[in-house]
């Protein structure tokens, strides 16, 4: 590790802003103080890599609407409960009597559907290519079991279209630290469009400090040599083609749809919608949900700017004052993968 950092620190490179788009990287970079160890000229910023943070207010509003319906139980991963949504949250709804439950796995929702047949069970499906296969497995199992009281409020997203939309013609970002977890599913080749279309180096990285340092060193070398390439610095977990079983699950259940991202807006092809054969499990159809407005962020909140890489946590006037992990005013302070929560906890920028 020390050798890597020494080599990295000693690099003489042109000004280079590296964006990471993975919440686990966001956390690890802050936790290990890696920003303080970069060579002169290199800067690390966070992008839209935290699944909780990028979930749009319209999806949260739909989840809240369902949570308040009698006879409905909404299952979600725990972090989603605390995300503020126009002065409300799923946690607050639960405190007021709504049936909102924390799941450790989507299969918790299936178990509930099988044992509580008088209830409508809704799984709130959020996250990227990493969590979407779990939702796919849930639906395949539910269909096989003939479950009729389970549905999914689907807000899953995929990275490539969002990165194209965010980074095409951008002047802020010079290189991409690719998300190791997503790449483990999709394959490193899924990021080849970054050098080929967006004309910037892209390096797939693991999550240990030395793995991140190695990926940054690779980026620094490319920048020094003027190379624009894709490199996989996480070969232990990421192959060129990805995980065929997980990809088959995704293909069996989902199809690309337009999705709304917090901070990025609507992006064609960046979401996962249920295929027609799973339409009966679509909570939006089952409950005939209207389009919900996104709701207002807290006054001064810069989460949207953060997710576009246009601001850093301490530039938000609410950071550490009106917004802390105990009382988050925006989603980036909720999850350990959020940029604000990571900086609040470990320091740095
Ligand atoms: S400090 Fe809070 S309100 Fe401000 S950008 Fe971060 S999460 Fe959003």
pLDDT in tens, 215-253: 999 999 999 999 999 999 999 999 999 999 999 999 999
Q: Is any atom of ligand 1 closer than 6 Å to the C-beta of 333?
A: yes
Domains identified in the chain and CATH numbers = 2-51+159-232 (3.40.50.11750), 52-156+262-286 (3.40.50.11740), 314-346 (no CATH)
- Rounded to an integer, the average pLDDT of 81-86 is 90
**Among 258, 237, 247, residue whose Cα is nearest residue 129:** 247
For the record, the structure tokens of 202 come out as 């892209």
Mean pLDDT of the chain: 95
Determine the distance separating the centroid of ligand 1 and the alpha carbon of 5, expressed in angstroms.
31
CA distances from 36 to 9, 220, 345 (A): 10, 16, 16
Output the pLDDT for position 57: 93
What CA–CA distance (Å, rounded) separates 265 from 281? 26
Q: Is any atom of ligand 1 closer than 6 Å to the C-beta of 319?
A: yes
pLDDT category at 126 given cuts 50, 70, 90 is very high
What CA–CA distance (Å, rounded) separates 301 from 84? 11
| Nearest atom of ligand 1 to the alpha carbon of 301 | 3
The string of pLDDT tens digits covering residues 250-307 is 999 999 999 999 999 999 999 999 999 999 999 999 999 999 987 788 999 999 999 9
pLDDT at 185 over 80: yes
> To test the ligand 1 pocket, which listed residue (57, 85, 319) has its Cβ within 8 A of the most ligand atoms?
319
Output the pLDDT for position 297: 87
Determine the distance separating the centroid of ligand 1 and the alpha carbon of 324, expressed in angstroms.
8
pLDDT category at 347 given cuts 50, 70, 90 is confident
- Rounded to an integer, the average pLDDT of 201-214 is 95
pLDDT category at 85 given cuts 50, 70, 90 is confident
């Amino acid at each position: 590790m020390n050798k890597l950092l020494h080599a990295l620190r000693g690099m003489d490179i042109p000004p280079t802003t590296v964006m990471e788009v993975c919440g686990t990287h966001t956390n690890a970079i802050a936790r290990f103080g890696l920003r303080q160890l970069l060579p002169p000229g290199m800067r690390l910023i966070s992008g839209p890599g935290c699944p909780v943070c990028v979930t749009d207010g319209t999806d949260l509003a739909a989840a809240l609407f369902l949570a308040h319906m009698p006879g409905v139980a909404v299952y979600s991963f725990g972090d989603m409960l605390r995300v503020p949504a126009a002065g409300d949250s799923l946690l607050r709804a639960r405190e007021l009597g709504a049936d909102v439950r924390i799941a450790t796995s989507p299969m918790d929702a299936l178990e509930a559907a099988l044992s509580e047949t008088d209830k409508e069970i809704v799984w709130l499906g959020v996250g990227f290519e990493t969590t979407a296969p779990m939702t796919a497995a849930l639906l395949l199992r539910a269909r096989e079991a003939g479950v009729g009281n389970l549905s999914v409020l689907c807000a899953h997203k995929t990275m490539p279209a969002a990165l194209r939309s965010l980074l095409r013609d951008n002047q802020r970002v010079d290189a991409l630290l690719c998300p190791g977890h997503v790449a483990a599913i999709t394959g490193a080749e899924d990021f080849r469009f970054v050098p080929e279309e967006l004309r910037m180096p892209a390096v797939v990285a693991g999550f240990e400090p030395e793995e991140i340092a190695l990926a940054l060193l690779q980026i620094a070398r490319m920048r020094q040599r003027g190379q624009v390439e894709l490199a996989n610095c996480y070969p232990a977990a990421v192959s060129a083609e990805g995980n065929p079983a997980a990809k088959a699950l995704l293909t069996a259940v989902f199809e690309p749809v337009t999705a709304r991202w917090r901070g990025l807006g609507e992006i064609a092809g960046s979401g996962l919608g249920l295929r027609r054969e799973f339409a009966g499990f679509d909570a939006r159809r089952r409950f005939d949900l209207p389009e919900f407005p996104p709701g207002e962020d807290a006054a001064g909140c810069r989460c949207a700017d953060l997710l576009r890489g246009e601001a850093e946590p301490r530039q938000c006037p609410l950071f550490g004052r009106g917004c802390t992990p105990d009382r988050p005013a925006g989603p980036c302070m909720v999850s350990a993968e959020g940029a604000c929560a990571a900086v609040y906890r470990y320091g740095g920028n």
